[in-house]
Structure 1
Amino acid sequence: MKRWVRHPLVLGLAGTAVLFVGLAGYGFRTLEHAFERSARITQDTTQRIEVTLKLQKLLQRAALPVHHYHIDGHSEQRMHFRMLAGEINGTLSETLSVRSGSRPQDFAAIASSWRDLQGEITALLALPDPNAMGLRVIHARIHALDEEVRALSDRVGALHDADRIRTQEQLADAARWNRTLTVLVTAAFLVTVLSLMLGAAMMIHSQATLRDLSMRDALTGLFNRREFQARLRRQVELARRQGGSCAVLLLDVDHFKAVNDTYGHEVGDLVLRELAEVVCREVRRADLVARFGGEELVVLLPHTDKATAVSVGQRVQQAVAGHPAFVVPGGAQLTVTVSVGVAAFPADAPVEEALLRVADQAMYAAKRAGRNQVTWQGA
């Protein structure tokens, strides 16, 4: 009797062990496949997003040589634009090569629009005297050019957002598969459960990394232009509903091209990163600092009237001018200054687009007035 009982018990234990090992092996193989899939999604999407963000940042700088040429009339802006256009063309080619079948025709259309825009910019830079046709005419042409650059950059941003949504869907599918895998592996082996939890943590981290990547500027770590504009829109709506105010500071590094030309772009990047830290130290924790494009930073000041915003702008401008830590190779210290434009809602503009335009005009007024100062409408 004992032998009869023992025999099926051994068979049952053996069968259970075989099933356990089989489930564990299947779970580990499936888990490995899930990890590979998540890593592939993250790697492919990160590459696409990084290239698209790089293209968007380069396009945002496309009109800068025209602005500088209009201000100082230096013909070297043509060479600067040729170099920038070469970077944009190379990035467009790189963008088309990493699309993985995702709307390559849209980027081909962007490339076509960029060729037309490149021709317009080249024509403006080819003028022997940028102001010969009259300030009103040249301002109108530059404004139209800015709108075209912004529209093209927004088209790239829309494709970037579509990629982000597509990635979230893929990661959601992978997450659903991993939850099913959790049930199987938990019943088979504790180590598999722990491995799955680790995989879930890695996926959450990847999702957070991708989400942060879509909101941040890769160089400075500040919020990017798209995220800033979204938050500015919400802040203006909030101020309008509550009858409050908010303000914007637009900062542009003075003679930044000379820094790049003299010391190289790597030093220029170091200066921008250090500048971002200086600005963040001088504003409140509730304020939002973003990189607006090129050497421009922008600060959103919630619940702030115009007079207070001017005071903050002056504090930031003086802090930058007095900052001693811009060090270049060889140990020399580099002095950097900024021109700051201030605009407030609702005192200067009723909507966020107009608010940014007023701040931009004030910033260029500071440039024309000698740089290293704060200017605002009505100053």
Structure 2
Amino acid sequence: MKKAGLFSVYVASAAMVLQLAAPAASLASAAKNIIFMVPDGMGLADVTATRIYKNGLDGAPLNFETLKYIGYQRTYSANSTITDSAPAASAWACGEKFNNGEISFHGDGRPFKPSILELAKKQGKSTGLVATSTITHATPAAFGSHVVSRNCENEIARQFIEVTGVDLLLGGGVDKFKSVKADKCGTKGDFIQEAQDKGYAVAYSKKELDKVVTDGSTKVLGLFNAAGLTPEYTRTPGISEPRLPEMAIAALNVLEKNKHGFFLMVEGSQVDWANHANNYPYQLGEMLAFDEAVKVVRDWISADEDRKENTLLIVVADHDTGGFAINGPQTALLKAGQTVEAGWTTGEHTGVDTLIWSDGPGSKALARAIDNTDIYGVMVKAMAGSKE
């Protein structure tokens, strides 16, 4: 994909949308910070099974279950009843439907709106993307790039550094940032060196990530595996990769330095991979880590009155994967630490609606049945301080 002209197709619509996102000092409830958390591929049964294992049948809810508002969204893409992660995340990022495989970009040449991350940058906010997949995978890519195919991961890495300038990137994907073989878009190159030249601090382990945070870095590229990170259920003591909760708090510590606030997307990517594999122990480990990351975020918000007043937190899955179900036990009441009898209807995605949990400025608008594209408008209005 050519470097020049990639964003010319959205310039006109960007100006219009940015008017909606212009600061509105006269309104008290503007979302200074937006934290968007994605348990990729999670269905309601995943939530139930994890809660039972963690707290028992009659135990406390998971951390994200206690957010103030609950709604649900339709998930279909522009060309399919069953979405994949690319158009699902692009619908959130840009507020419109895309075809399966497209990353905030219409392959037929139609213009598209700027992403919520790009709008945040236009307001002077810092921006961050965190994932347990490659950071160039479909969900984070939709917020920080515009490409015709999710398979253009080298091009996505290039755009993160050269075009969008995402301030913080944490996840896997060393091979995508330092590539010798061109991707589907014809892109290859050493974008790690380019990032360093642009002032990014680069980290390859939890220890190095902790150091760049302590050093006060405001631009961070953390790449902790060639591909996706090690699954929770196969991790061994002493592994050098950070976990999702650790990446989440590192991101908050970096991004909060900006007095104008930030946009942060945090994805528990491998809930999806576990359900594709119909692997319940894998799913459970990723779900528990995701909920722990939500706790980290909520603790950070709760620690300061300004954060509580001015942070919009959204937790939503892009789609369900696997059609996971709880099939038993039929004759016993499970206690904390015990696992359900698991079943799946498929190894692929399903077309069911997914739940939305939210709190903070603008969140009341998410407490109903909506389309996935509607979340974009809610974030734009919240960021501008517009009232429902």
| TM-score tier (shorter) | under 0.3
Q: Which structure is richer in relative contact order (CA contacts within 8 A, separation 6 or more)?
A: 2
More strand by share: 2
TM-score scaled to structure 2, two decimals?
A: 0.23
More helix by share: 1
TM-score scaled to structure 1, two decimals?
A: 0.24
